[in-house]
């Protein structure tokens, strides 16, 4: 699976999360060879778990499936720039590459806020890349919150 296909799956997961009433963020985790290991969207409300972000969900699922807490060589595709909690999980799992579509100036922790992977206390620095249409990815979130306020 290539980057565009993977980010498209992450956006599908974001749409599915929105349909469940969750904040629409989706994630896909691939092996280094591009095989699908896990896919999910946010499940915070469903699980009554503030840590059930899409990224955490796919990291947990892949670690369980592989029987290893280290996800060396894997690639994480996310519809939105990961937050600080998710960046920490990405570092601890040793995900090799993180690809996201939309930036998150308020809650993102890779290009914004703490710039987690640039900190001297961060012991793992994944490759960071962008894929997909950031405007379309951002619109999923804007429409979701507009409907909530309306």
Q: What distances in angstroms separate CA 99 from CA 17, 50, 147, 148, 150, one per listed residue?
A: 19, 23, 28, 28, 32
Contact 76, 98 (CB under 8 A): yes
Feature table: binding site for Zn(2+):
53, 83, 86
User: Please, are residues 33 and 2 in contact by the beta-carbon 8 Å criterion?
Assistant: no
Nearest to 55 by CA among 20, 23, 33: 23
Extract the annotated binding site.
53, 83, 86
Residue 83, burial from CB neighbour count under 10 angstroms (0-12, 13-18, 19+): buried
Active site residue 55: yes
Q: Which of 13, 22, 55, 57 is catalytic?
A: 55
Residues annotated as catalytic are: 55
């Amino acid at each position: 699976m290539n980057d565009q296909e993977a980010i498209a799956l992450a956006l599908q997961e974001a749409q599915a999360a929105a349909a469940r009433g969750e904040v629409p963020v989706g994630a896909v985790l691939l092996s280094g060879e591009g095989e699908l290991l896990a896919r999910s969207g946010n499940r915070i409300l469903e699980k009554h778990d503030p840590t059930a972000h899409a990224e955490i969900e796919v990291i947990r699922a892949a670690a369980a499936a592989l029987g290893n807490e280290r996800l060396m060589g894997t690639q994480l595709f996310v519809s939105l720039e990961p937050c600080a909690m998710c960046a920490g999980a990405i570092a601890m799992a040793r995900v090799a590459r993180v690809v996201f579509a939309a930036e998150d100036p308020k809650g993102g922790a890779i290009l914004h806020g703490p710039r987690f992977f640039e900190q001297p206390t961060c012991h793992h620095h994944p490759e960071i890349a962008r894929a997909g249409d950031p405007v379309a990815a951002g619109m999923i979130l804007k429409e979701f919150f507009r409907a909530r306020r309306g």
